[in-house]
């Protein structure tokens, strides 16, 4: 079921996406509402499931995990979706797995320390008896609507 949001709700969401620790007072001043009205709107968006939670953005490069890559995976024709997802989720380097229609069967987002580390993970994936092919793309830079404050690479 879709949730109806007005332009002010969208503006509040945009402000929270920029900084989830932003105060109610700051948001209220930016959207020209009272603090109580902003709190009610945020509470309503949380209760309806529009706002799922709050998170922190991490500069993974400063932690030694500065390389990101996407690897396309092709599987044997008899592989079911659950098996596709399970192929890489045990690896801590896997950030996300996307099963997709068409060719390839899945796309995985990996975060690694260096190119040798990436090669080790790709070799591990290829050893899976169900994987019939891979293609890896290394990320040079990134932008995301929800992550506009990512540190520049």
What are the tokens at 88? 């890489």
Average confidence score pLDDT of the chain: 91
Report d(CA 32, CA 65) in Å as an integer.
41
Looking at residues 132-147, what average pLDDT do you find?
88
pLDDT of 152 > 80? The answer is no
CATH number assigned to the domain with residue range 60-139, chosen from the 4 options 2.60.40.180, 3.30.2180.10, 1.10.3720.10, 3.30.70.920: 3.30.70.920
Angle between helices 35-47 and 7-18 (to 10 degrees): 90
Q: How confident is the model at residue 129 (pLDDT cuts 50, 70, 90)?
A: confident
| pLDDT at position 1 | 73
pLDDT of 105 > 50? The answer is yes
Q: Give 2-60 pLDDT, tens digit per residue.
A: 889 999 999 999 999 989 999 999 999 999 999 999 999 999 999 999 999 998 888 89
Q: Are 112 and 67 in contact (CB under 8 A)?
A: yes
Q: Which residues contact 143 (CB under 8 A, 6 or more apart)?
A: 150
pLDDT of 149 > 90? The answer is no
Domain boundaries for CATH 3.30.70.920 within the chain: 60-139
Domain boundaries for CATH 1.10.10.10 within the chain: 7-48
Q: For the CA atoms of the chain, what is the radius of gyration?
A: 20
% pLDDT > 90, the chain: 73
CA angle 57, 22, 149 (to 5 degrees): 35
| pLDDT at position 77 | 84
| pLDDT at position 146 | 67
CATH number assigned to the domain with residue range 7-48, chosen from the 4 options 2.10.10.90, 3.20.20.70, 1.10.10.10, 2.40.50.140: 1.10.10.10
């Amino acid at each position: 079921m879709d949730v109806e949001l007005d332009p002010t709700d969208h503006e509040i969401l945009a402000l929270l996406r920029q900084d989830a620790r932003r105060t109610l007072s700051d948001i209220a001043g930016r959207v020209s509402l009272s603090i109580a009205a902003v709190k009610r709107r945020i509470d309503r968006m949380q209760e309806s499931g529009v706002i799922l939670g709050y998170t922190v953005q991490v500069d993974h490069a400063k932690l030694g995990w500065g390389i990101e890559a996407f690897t396309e995976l092709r599987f044997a024709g008899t592989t079911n979706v659950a098996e596709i997802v399970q192929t890489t989720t045990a690896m801590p380097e896997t950030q996300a797995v996307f099963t997709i229609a068409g060719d390839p069967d899945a796309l995985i987002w990996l975060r690694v320390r260096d190119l040798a580390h990436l090669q080790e993970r790709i070799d591990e994936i290829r050893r899976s008896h169900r994987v019939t092919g891979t293609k890896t793309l290394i990320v040079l830079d990134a932008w995301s609507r929800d992550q506009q404050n990512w540190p520049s690479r």
